[in-house]
């Protein structure tokens, strides 16, 4: 693979569910959120993540994908937006919606 996928320092991660939402701006804040989540949820026997129904779009140096995400009983629609910078694809936006929380 001649191109690497990395996360832009200016990326944004947003998550929403019936009980609230979270927005993390910039890779330092996003990566700290991920580390904290992993420390708080160390269970190695979590259900596998299943992703399906991918829809891709590309336009020049910009690409985005929508897909269904399922983790056990939790499911929802996710999106990633990428920008090609100096020949390298970088994630600039990650969005997740826990649709299953609205069904409860």
pLDDT band, very low/low/confident/very high, at 82 (cuts 50, 70, 90): very high
The pLDDT of 30-50, averaged and rounded, is 84
Question: Which one has a higher pLDDT value, 46 or 12?
Answer: 12
List pLDDT tens digits, range 21-35.
999 998 888 889 888
- Transcribe 44-101 into DSSP letters: TTPPPEEEEEEEEEEETTEEEEEEEEEETTEEEEEEEEEEEETTEEEEEEEEEE-THH
Q: Identify the architecture of domain 5-103 in CATH.
A: Roll (3.10)
- pTM to 2 decimals? 0.76
Kindly tell me if the per-residue pLDDT of 3 is higher than 70. no
């Amino acid at each position: 693979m001649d191109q690497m996928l990395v996360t832009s320092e200016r990326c944004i991660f947003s998550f929403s569910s019936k009980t609230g939402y979270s927005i993390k701006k910039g890779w330092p804040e996003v990566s700290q959120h991920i580390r904290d989540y992993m420390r708080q949820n160390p269970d190695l026997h979590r259900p596998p993540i299943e992703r399906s129904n991918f829809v891709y779009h590309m336009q020049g140096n910009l690409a985005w994908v929508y897909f269904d995400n399922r983790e056990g009983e939790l499911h929802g629609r996710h999106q990633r937006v990428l920008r090609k910078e100096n020949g390298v694809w970088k994630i600039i936006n990650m969005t997740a919606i826990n649709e299953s929380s609205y069904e409860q």
